Structure 1
């Protein structure tokens, strides 16, 4: 794999992990509730079986009750925080879908036909827009002209979805969802040697990037909140085919360029607060379990 691919894939993997963070947090919350209910049921069952309830047991029961109320409050707070972050994620996805649709409309008006995948944030340059002959990384004259049109459409739309400009010392901190990265992704078909295909796919992405940069240098001025350039490249060899068949038609389709738009989601401070809350809940649950064990003579 090339260095472009290493960097691009690492950044993308990190972002995909961020996008799945809130769903994982929801799953964790459900699991904690499940464990909590089981613990209370076991405690209640054991308590009913006790025929000699001592003052110490009553004290421990009261302590467990208080601990349970604390955990319930923590869970309510966590659920509210996760709910707000999920709303922000939904908003980011809708903003990205609007962005893709606007770019697609502008390109169709110029006779350049692309496909969009709003769920995954992909603008796909089909063989009607950019076609690569087998084993060739360079753009044809027709493909070059289309990439220039794509670059123009990007610069007409993308600045409204971008947080920072290189020449501007301030960034947009209004909380409006913005783009974190636009990956220019190169792909090959399944023919040829795998090692060659990694280089080939990355070269296709790099050549597309260079053509865009030459056509619209201002695209390189767009930055995310971390002050990193928006436009980047990655290569995937034949690992992400659109049609997983060993046919010529499939090969023609799979040799392509995708533009993947990744949104900036979640405020780091909010995420840190959620993680801290889960740790506090873990401590409360440990204390609750300890109180139950003592009441049961363990």
Structure 2
């Protein structure tokens, strides 16, 4: 009988604990219900997006990130290229400075160079300009008249006429189309010579002849192929040169003296001259028909004045008459 009250007390205690835990559970659930109710009240389905739109946004984000990476790489590449160009520019500036230094040295050397050499160099350049201008004019004449078999070229100090349309084998005179072309050459030449010669038709000016260079001789040279004897070919080449000269410098006034002889050099000699070389100066193989046609040719050779001393270099137009008188006096003394 003494243990019965103790048993009742333990049961009551267990029941009390159960009730307390039940109350706590109920309370927790109540709180959860309240929270769920709160969050439910805050839910707005307008702030959500469909899954496809969400996935599309993710794809766009990934593409944008990839584009950013690509642009970063491109930027790095451009920066590397800029650095390389800056290095090249630095080397270029150094090269320019080096070339400018060399140019200054050459200019200094040029200033110290022999004035006769400078004058002769200017003469050579001017001669080239004259010959090329004549070649262009004659080629235009040939094209306009549609002449076949006549070739014109520049060869150093000469203007060269050759081809099957110039001279037939054994023929010493020009005829037909070649005759007209050589006559037109004389007209072109008569427009060039006044600025580079003295005499009645001289017209030396700085605007057409800034270097004051002068022509010593314009030599009309005749040539042949190897057919026939050397003596015969010398005569034939001279005949060809005279035939060309007659068309270049015709006697237009009927005086017996071609007007082209009015162009004089500093020794007061006619600039125009004639020479025949026969077969002695071939430019092609005489063993072929084409080579022989090339050797039957006319060369118009330009020989420029070479000052025999520094005091005989013209610096002004008025110097030319003084130099001419001095050269003629020297010639007379010899």
TM-score range, shorter chain: 0.5 to 0.7
* Residue 263 (structure 2) pairs with residue 263 (structure 1): no
- Corresponding residue for 2:185? 150
CA distance in 2, matches of 1:247, 1:138: 23
CA distance in 2, matches of 1:246, 1:106: 33
Q: Which runs of 5+ in 1 are unaligned?
A: 1-78, 272-298
CA distance in 2, matches of 1:270, 1:186: 37
TM, length-normalised to structure 1: 0.57
- Structure 1 residues 167 and 177 mapped into 2: Cα distance closer, same or farther (>3 Å)? closer
CA distance in 1, matches of 2:223, 2:125: 27
Cα distance, 1:163 vs. partner? Answer: 2.5
- Structure 1 residues 228 and 99 mapped into 2: Cα distance closer, same or farther (>3 Å)? same
Check the 8 A contact 2:123/2:214 in 1, yes or no: yes
Structure index of larger Rg: 2
- Corresponding residue for 2:200? 166
* Residue 253 (structure 2) pairs with residue 212 (structure 1): no
Give the alignment's Cα RMSD to 1 decimal.
Answer: 2.8
Map Cα deviations across residues 65-89 of structure 1 (whole Å, 9 max, x no partner).
xxxxxxxxxxxxxx99873222211
1:25-40 mapped onto 2 (5 Å cutoff): none
Cα distance, 1:268 vs. partner? Answer: 4.0
- Structure 1 residues 230 and 253 mapped into 2: Cα distance closer, same or farther (>3 Å)? same
* Residue 229 (structure 2) pairs with residue 193 (structure 1): yes
Aligned counterpart for 2:168 among listed residues 133, 138, 144: 133
Aligned length: 189
- Corresponding residue for 2:7? none
Cα distance, 1:175 vs. partner? Answer: 6.2
- Corresponding residue for 1:290? none
1:222-233 mapped onto 2 (5 Å cutoff): 222-233=263-274
* Residue 257 (structure 2) pairs with residue 221 (structure 1): no
Aligned counterpart for 1:89 among listed residues 112, 115, 120: 120
TM, length-normalised to structure 2: 0.51
Check the 8 A contact 2:119/2:211 in 1, yes or no: no
